[in-house]
Structure 1
């Protein structure tokens, strides 16, 4: 489990000062892609990148994306907004074509789109669980294939994959969601090791419970975790962007409490963590 004290991991193209190759003050602004950019952590990732001098391609499936795009333009970032349903293969490919259509190399990509679903596995509609897999896992792999092939061919680039501290524990009453994040954690670290000598880095972002629409959309308002105090998405995003641009392999992002929870999880048996998760995520546990 990583925290702020983890050493920076860099490849040949990485910069220890958190910059991206080609992003100098006299050159053109670098371009970054952010998925799931209309709300929460994704919105804050886009804002953080804009504040650091990036132009943006932002993607989400809802109307709020245009509002975010307007905010980014007001911050001085040339912004392309692409409304896509990334659960569909052809929509992932259409997003990549929109990136290519900018005519500019992609310096950074935050693969952040995701969804959760709370409740007992035997009671949840299988199509809802499939949506979690299609968006969190399948679309990330498919989009990463496009992004990383392009970056590796140029010998530079930074990728951030939004995992979660949920990746480290069995997700009682969030079985498929936690499993999807475990996949992303393993995927990001494996692929990042493969690309490390190419000048391309992959960072796993591991937030804890964060103040977004996630728990409401996952039907978890009546759970202890859903009703609890949560981390600031702007703080999570800022830490994630800094880790990505520095080439770190992973970052547990958020408050001191989240980092302590993640550290504690490294020494507990899975069975204990599964029972702890049940107390936090069981429907009605907020009462």
Structure 2
């Protein structure tokens, strides 16, 4: 009797909607069992809707808290299976003038989720992968990592951290066969800008890239072992290329025009 083939296991955070949900869909459609995580109740419905030939499980955890990351890692361990791939995607934005508009509590929560939880989860999972000499890690960065980000100052800095961290970790793990890939999307059609309080900005109101297409490009780059991929439209790739050669003052001004509160109304 032929033994049933064991499917590889992937973990995706921030997977109740947006890019995270679409990344989970990519894994399911490409032969993975998937564990998805998010802090909201939508994660349960997301798991139900991810139909495919494999198993999909969900866990509701607040990754902005130390205990939340530990709870996710405990769930991973309880499966008794190696993690073949992980997409560390959970993140949040805060829009507005840092000194005069935004709340410190929101920005500290952003750092806890975007930066601290990413390091925490990567620490747990990468150690297991290094010991096994096998695994793939995908970090969701942003083209905001490539430029100063006025009116998203802490968010942009958090993604610059993730980009540097991803590149460094990739170098460290190269000798044990573990790959690390950074996904750099531009403005994408998700709930991100609404949650960040940026509905009235130019970037909040403009046409955005499709989350499914961004996720597909990220998944393909991960499976190919690439160091990074600037995902989305040709416009996004052109912007990413441009901001790496123009002065920071110019790229900061470009970001300001897109993200300044009220800029969407001004440009109607």
TM class by smaller structure: over 0.9
Give the distance between the partners of 1:110 and 1:71, measured in 2 at CA.
Answer: 19
Residue of structure 2 in register with 1:124 after alignment: 102
Q: Does 1:70 align with 2:48?
A: yes
Residues 48-197 of structure 1 aligned to structure 2 (within 5 Å): 48-72=26-50, 74-122=51-99, 123-197=101-175
Q: 2:225 aligns with which of 247, 255, 273?
A: 247
Q: Which runs of 5+ in 2 are unaligned?
A: none
Give the distance between the partners of 2:236 and 2:255, measured in 1 at CA.
Answer: 14
Give the distance between the partners of 1:100 and 1:53, measured in 2 at CA.
Answer: 21
TM-score (norm 2): 0.96
TM-score (norm 1): 0.90
Q: 2:209 aligns with which of 231, 234, 256?
A: 231
Give the distance between the partners of 2:234 and 2:261, measured in 1 at CA.
Answer: 27
Q: Does 1:204 align with 2:175?
A: no
Name the SS for the 2:48 alignment partner: helix
Once the two structures are TM-superposed, the CA of residue 75 in structure 1 deviates from its matched residue by 1.7
RMSD: 1.0
Residues 153-197 of structure 1: per-residue CA shift (max 9 Å, x gap): 000000000000000011100000000000000000000110011
Structure 1 moving runs of 4+ over 3 Å: none
Once the two structures are TM-superposed, the CA of residue 71 in structure 1 deviates from its matched residue by 1.5
Give the distance between the partners of 2:49 and 2:170, measured in 1 at CA.
Answer: 32
Residues 242-268 of structure 1: per-residue CA shift (max 9 Å, x gap): 101111000001111111111111111
Residues paired across the two proteins, number: 262
Once the two structures are TM-superposed, the CA of residue 27 in structure 1 deviates from its matched residue by 3.0
Bigger RCO of structures 1 and 2 (CA < 8 A, at least 6 apart): 1
Give the distance between the partners of 2:243 and 2:148, measured in 1 at CA.
Answer: 11
